[in-house]
Structure 1
Amino acid sequence: MPAEVQTTAPDIDPVAGLPAYIRPAVSAIETQQILAVSQLALGDKSVIPLWYGESDVPTPAFICAAAQRALGQGETFYSHKRGTPELRHTLAGYMSDLHGKRIDVERVSVTASGMSAIMMLFQCILDAGDNAIITCPVWPNAQSVVRALGAEARFHALDRDPDQGWRLDIEALKAKCDARTRAIFVNSPNNPTGWVLPREQIDELLAFARERGIWIMADEVYGRMVYSGRAAPSFLEQCEENDPVLVVNSFSKSWAMTGWRVGWVTHPPGLGELLGNMIEFNYSCVPPFVMRAAEVAIREGEPFVQQMTAYCRTGRDIVSQRLPNLPHVADYRAPDASFYAFFRVEGTAERTLAFAQDLVRTAKVGIAPGTAFGPGAEGWYRLCFAQKPETIAEAMDRLERALTAM
C-alpha cells in the first residue's frame, strides 16, 4: 500500500502572533539594541541622535545631480545584475590606484549596500551547522546574518592594551577555528572601536586562510575614514586574485550616501557568476540611476572624501578634549579611524542598555550601548561624532550634566 500522505501541518510551535511556521534561526534573532534606544525618541527633535553610524552631512549636490540626470534620461529599467560596466570599471580603477595593485574588473560586483553584500556572501558560504569567526566588538548585523542562516557566530574579542589600545591576538583566533569554520569576519577600520588591522597581521591571516581554505570576509567600509594617510591597510594590497578573500565596501560613509543603499564587493573572479545569481534572487539589480550617481561619486568625489574626513576629524578633536574629562568616563582613546568614540562609563556594566535608554529620556542624548556589539562590551558605549561641531559640543554638555548627577 502507498505510504500515508501527511495532510496536516507538522507539530510545531508558531511564533506568537503569526499564523504559520517561521524558521527558529530567524525568530530567535533579537531586536537590535541600538533600535531599542533610538525608538524611544522617534519624532523627538530635542534629542541629539548620535546612535547610528551616519553623519549629518547630506549627499553632495554633484552626486544627486547625476542621479537626477539619469532619471531624466529614462534610466529606470532593469540593469546589469552585477553592476553597469561603467561603474565596475570605475571601481576597479579606483581600487587599483588606491591600493597600488591592479584589480581586474571581473573581481568587482556592485551590490545594494554593504549589508546586502555581507548577507549574500554568507548565503554563498554557510550551511546550517557551519561557523564563522567574528572579531568583536563589531557592528551587530554581521552576527545576526550568520545566525539567520542557521550557522554559528563564534566571537573573538579584541584585547585592549591600556597604552596601545585595541589589539588582535591572531593565535587565539586561529585556535577557535575547526573543520566547520567557513569564514573569518574582520571589520577594519573597526566599528565601534576605530581599531585598524596592521599590515603584518593581514599577512598572517591571509597565510592562515590560504592554508586552511577558509574565507576572509573583510568589511572595509571605513577604509577611507582614517586620520593618518590616504587609506587604511587593506587585504587588497596583499592578496592575489584567487585568494579566499572577500572585501566589502560601501558608498555610505565617505561619500555621505547612507540612504542610497549601494556598495560593492571585490572577490575572486570565479565567484562573479555565483554572486550575480544571488543578486538576481535577492533584488535583481541596483537601480541604474543610483549606479550613475555612484559612478560620479568615485570619479569626481575625491575632494569630498577628504572634506568628509576633515569634518570627522573636527568632531573627533572635540570629543577627545571633552569626553575623557567627564565624570565616570574611562578607557577612552581617540580612534585611528572611523567616526566613533568608544568608551566605558563606570558603574553601568550591569545595565548598559538601560543606561543608554535613560540618557535619551533624561539627557536627550542618544548613544549606542556597547552590548549591541557582541560579548565583553558591557558598560561601554559608542558615540558617532560625524556631526556639526556645535552639535557635538552640546552633546558633551548634556552628557556632563547627566554623568555628574549619577
Structure 2
Amino acid sequence: MFDTAVEARPAVRALSSSLIREVANAAMGTSDVLPFWFGESDTPTPQFIRDAAADSLSRGETFYSQNLGRPYLREAIATYQGELRGRTVAPERVLAVGSGMSGLQIALQLLLSPGDRVVAVTPLWPNISEAPLILGANVDRVPLSVSDGRWSLDVDKLLSALTPDTRMVIINSPNNPTGWMIDDESIRAILAHCRKHGIWILADEVYERLVYDTALRAAPSFMQHYEDGDRIISVNSFSKAWSMTGWRIGWMVVPEALAPDATKLIEYNFSCIFEPTQRAATVAIREGEAEVQRMRTHLARTRALLIDGLRDMNRVSVPDAGGAMYAFLRIDGYENSLELARRLVREVGLGLAPGAAFGPEGEGWLRWCHAVSEDKLADGIGRLRTFLRN
C-alpha cells in the first residue's frame, strides 16, 4: 500500500509562516486600521517610471527576453553601481532578477547544499533566514545588541561564529527590522576573515540608499572592497529607494564565473523579466536620483517625527539606527509581540509587525514602517498613546 498522505517535503513543512502576514492578512482592507506592517512607501511609483512601462507596453514589448535581463538594463545597473561605489563593475557581473527575494533565492541555490552551515546576523527579515532551510542548510544566528542606545554588532562574536566549516554568512545592512548599518571597519574585518576561510558573503543591500547621515550617498558596502576572487554576492532591489515594491524587480552583482550557472537557475525559477518592467527599472536607475533624494529627505523627517513621538511616551524604548525605513521598538511589560500586535489592531486600529517575525531575538519588539505621510504617522502615534493610556 503506497503512502496516501498529501503533503510537502519535511523541510518545507518545517518552515515558519510569516507572522507579519498573519497580522496583516487578518486586518488588511479594514477601513479603520492604519497599516504600518509592511516595508513599503505609501506613495505610488513616480510617474516618469510608470510612463516608461506604459510606453513599452504600447510598443508591444511583451515577449521573452534574456535570462539575465536586457543588456540596456544590466549596463545601466553596472554604471550606477560603479558610480555609487567608485569601483568599476562589469555588466557581465550584473544579473537582473525578478525581485530582491528572487536574487537571494538564486544566490542560495547557487551555493548551498544540504547540511551546509550558514551564519546570519539577526534579527532578520524572515524570508532571508528561512530560505536556506528550504535547501536543507542549517542557520546559526548572531544577534545584534543595543549599546549606548544604538543597535550594534559585536564583530568579534560574529568572527568567532564564522568557523572554517561555515559555507556562508548573510548580512543585511541597513538592516530590516532594526535599521542597524554596518561600518567600513567591520566590513574589512569580516572580509579578511572570510577570505582566510573561504566563506561566502551574501550581502542584502536593498536599503543601501536609505541612510540618515546626509554625508553618505549610500551605506558602506562589501562591494567597495571587492577584489577578483572574492566570494561576495550583493543583492539589491528597485522596491525601496524608487517606490517600486509591486514591480518585483531587483539585481545581483556576482563574481563573473557564477553568471553561467546563475543563468540556468534563473531559467528554471522565473525565466526572464517582463520587458516593460525592465524599461521602467532602467529609467528609474538612470533618471531617478532626485526621487531617491526625495525619499531620503522624507524618511529623515518621518523618522524624527516617529522617534520623538515614541520617546515621549512612558515605557517605550527605541534604539538609534543608521538607515532603512523602520523603528524597532519595545514597550515595557509586553513580551509576546504577536499578541501585542493583534491587540493594537483590535483595540486601536494600529497595524505594526510583531518582532517575533524576525526571529527569537525580536520577541518583545515591534517594527513600525515610517515611509508614510506625516498625517498618517501622527495618527498612528496618537493611537499608540491611546492604547498605553487605556
- Residue 190 in 1 paired to residue 203 in 2? no
Q: Indicate which of 64, 71, 82 corresponds to 2:57.
A: 71
Aligned counterparts of 2:7 and 2:240: Cα–Cα separation in 1: 38
Structure 1 match to 2:44: 58
Which AA in structure 1 matches 2:374? P
Q: 1:276 Cα deviation (Å)?
A: 1.0
Contact 1:252 1:260 in 2 (8 A): yes
- SS state at 1:160 partner: strand
Q: Which one is further off, 259-268 or 336-345?
A: 336-345
Superposed counterparts of 1:8-27, under 5 Å: 9=2, 14=5, 20-27=6-13
Structure 1 match to 2:73: 87
Contact 1:84 1:291 in 2 (8 A): yes
Q: Indicate which of 89, 102, 119 corresponds to 1:103.
A: 89
Q: Indicate which of 237, 246, 249 corresponds to 2:233.
A: 246
Which AA in structure 2 matches 1:85? P
Which AA in structure 1 matches 2:225? Q
Superposed counterparts of 1:170-185, under 5 Å: 170-185=155-170
Q: 1:178 Cα deviation (Å)?
A: 3.8
Contact 2:181 2:321 in 1 (8 A): no
Aligned counterparts of 1:313 and 1:171: Cα–Cα separation in 2: 31
Structure 2 match to 1:3: none
- SS state at 2:360 partner: coil
Structure 1 match to 2:185: 200
Q: 1:148 Cα deviation (Å)?
A: 1.4
Q: Per the alignment, do residues 268 and 300 of structure 1 end up closer, same or farther by CA in structure 2, a change over 3 Å counting?
A: same
Superposed counterparts of 1:159-170, under 5 Å: 159-163=145-149, 165-170=150-155
Which AA in structure 2 matches 1:26? V
- Residue 315 in 1 paired to residue 289 in 2? no
Aligned counterparts of 1:213 and 1:131: Cα–Cα separation in 2: 13
Structure 2 match to 1:225: 210
Q: Which one is further off, 79-88 or 375-384?
A: 375-384
Please report the RMSD computed on the Cα atoms of aligned residues, expressed in angstroms: 1.3
Contact 1:327 1:404 in 2 (8 A): no
Contact 1:134 1:185 in 2 (8 A): yes
Q: 1:179 Cα deviation (Å)?
A: 4.9
Aligned counterparts of 2:7 and 2:302: Cα–Cα separation in 1: 47
Contact 1:236 1:247 in 2 (8 A): yes
- Residue 210 in 1 paired to residue 198 in 2? no
- SS state at 1:58 partner: coil
Structure 1 match to 2:314: 327
Aligned counterparts of 1:348 and 1:62: Cα–Cα separation in 2: 45
Q: Indicate which of 258, 272, 286 corresponds to 1:271.
A: 258
Aligned counterparts of 2:268 and 2:8: Cα–Cα separation in 1: 20
- SS state at 2:188 partner: helix
**CA offsets, 1:164-215, max 9 Å, x none?**
x122122222222345421100000111111110001111111111111111
**CA offsets, 1:304-359, max 9 Å, x none?**
000111111111111121111113212x134321110011111111x211011110
Q: TM-score, normalised by structure 2?
A: 0.97
Unaligned 5+ segments in structure 1 are: 1-7, 15-19
Which AA in structure 2 matches 1:404? R
Q: 1:237 Cα deviation (Å)?
A: 0.7
Contact 1:242 1:269 in 2 (8 A): no
Q: 1:105 Cα deviation (Å)?
A: 0.9
- SS state at 2:124 partner: coil
Which AA in structure 2 matches 1:262? I
Structure 2 match to 1:338: 324
Structure 1 match to 2:111: 125
- Residue 256 in 1 paired to residue 254 in 2? no
Which AA in structure 2 matches 1:173? L
- SS state at 1:403 partner: helix
Which AA in structure 1 matches 2:156? E
Aligned counterparts of 2:82 and 2:385: Cα–Cα separation in 1: 46
Identity %: 42
Contact 1:220 1:247 in 2 (8 A): yes
Q: 1:376 Cα deviation (Å)?
A: 2.0
Q: Indicate which of 344, 355, 360 corresponds to 2:340.
A: 355
Structure 1 match to 2:99: 113
Contact 2:164 2:197 in 1 (8 A): no
Q: Which one is further off, 150-159 or 215-224?
A: 150-159
Q: 1:399 Cα deviation (Å)?
A: 0.3
Structure 2 match to 1:285: 272
Aligned counterparts of 1:356 and 1:21: Cα–Cα separation in 2: 31
Aligned counterparts of 1:173 and 1:303: Cα–Cα separation in 2: 37
Q: TM-score, normalised by structure 1?
A: 0.93
Across the two proteins, how many residue pairs are aligned to each other?
388
Q: 1:226 Cα deviation (Å)?
A: 0.8
Contact 2:123 2:358 in 1 (8 A): yes
Aligned counterparts of 1:168 and 1:316: Cα–Cα separation in 2: 22
- SS state at 1:376 partner: helix
Unaligned 5+ segments in structure 2 are: none
Aligned counterparts of 1:28 and 1:307: Cα–Cα separation in 2: 42
Aligned counterparts of 1:154 and 1:300: Cα–Cα separation in 2: 41
Q: 1:273 Cα deviation (Å)?
A: 0.8
Contact 2:144 2:151 in 1 (8 A): yes
Q: 1:21 Cα deviation (Å)?
A: 4.1
Structure 2 match to 1:17: none
Aligned counterparts of 1:335 and 1:202: Cα–Cα separation in 2: 17
- SS state at 2:327 partner: strand
Which AA in structure 2 matches 1:101? R
- Residue 139 in 1 paired to residue 94 in 2? no
Aligned counterparts of 2:36 and 2:171: Cα–Cα separation in 1: 24
Aligned counterparts of 2:197 and 2:112: Cα–Cα separation in 1: 16
